[in-house]
Structure 1
Amino acid sequence: MHELGIIIQIVKTVERFAEENGVTNIDTLVLQIGELSSVIPKYVEDCYPAAVDGTLLQDTKLEIEILPGNCICHKCDKVFNLIQHNKQCPDCRSQDWELLSGRELLIKEIIAY
């Protein structure tokens, strides 16, 4: 489970940001995880309490938003969800596409109070 290491690095990044910007109380951390990334949201949720224990984020809530795995068809320019359409354009049935989103792992928002 590499998610614990990833979350520990995110916590360090958020703490560094908070220190540089004078933020002392954080209520919520919002992450965006692409549905095609190698990071499993459930595992992130499970290891979050251990990763934030004893840190500035100890009492924070974690929110995760899933970003869709969207791509664009090179033949007809249709944008579609890769998973929902089984890697095939729903309009022209082409499998010649380019990935637009879905592999991200982003710190979207740090909500302070």
Structure 2
Amino acid sequence: MINVVETVENFAKQNGITEIDTLVLQIGELSSVVPRFVQACYPAAVDGTMLQNTKLEIEILPGNCICDNCKKVFNLIEHKGECPSCGSEDWELLCGREFLIKEIVAC
């Protein structure tokens, strides 16, 4: 989170932003980043920075994949790695491992 705060502060300074209202992060459900831990450590990470009074919003991105056999897109976790359409376990991950700064909302 400290790297995220530094990145946001650098972006704000480069773009003449002096106050930020909300920081929106996107976290994939297959990511190694745990949203509740991000939420819990956010106050300590922003303490004493220009983000100190900001709100944090977290959007969870689904872990979707596409079946190599029938080309159906499905949620990997929900279907336990098996295509609900044809039963194949051969798939390609499309999304779900992201950890992104989606939006910086200035005041």
Fold conserved (TM > 0.5)? yes
Per-residue CA deviation, residues 32-83 of structure 1 (Å, 9 max, x unaligned), is 0000000000000000000000000000000000000000000000000000
Separation in 1, partners of 2:17, 2:92: 40
Alignment equivalent of 2:57, drawn from 48, 63, 66: 63
Give every structure 1 segment of 4 or more consecutive aligned residues whose post-TM-superposition deviation is greater than 3 Å. Answer: none
Separation in 1, partners of 2:96, 2:85: 21
Separation in 2, partners of 1:107, 1:57: 14
What is the total number of aligned residue pairs between the two structures? 107
RMSD over aligned CA atoms reads 0.2
Counterpart residue number, 1:72: 66
- The structural deviation recorded for 1:95 is 0.2
> Which segments of 5 or more consecutive residues in structure 2 lack a partner in the other structure?
none
> Which segments of 5 or more consecutive residues in structure 1 lack a partner in the other structure?
1-6
SS of aligned partner of 2:40:
helix
The reply on whether 1:99 has 2:78 as its aligned counterpart is: no
Give TM-score scaled by structure 1 length. 0.94
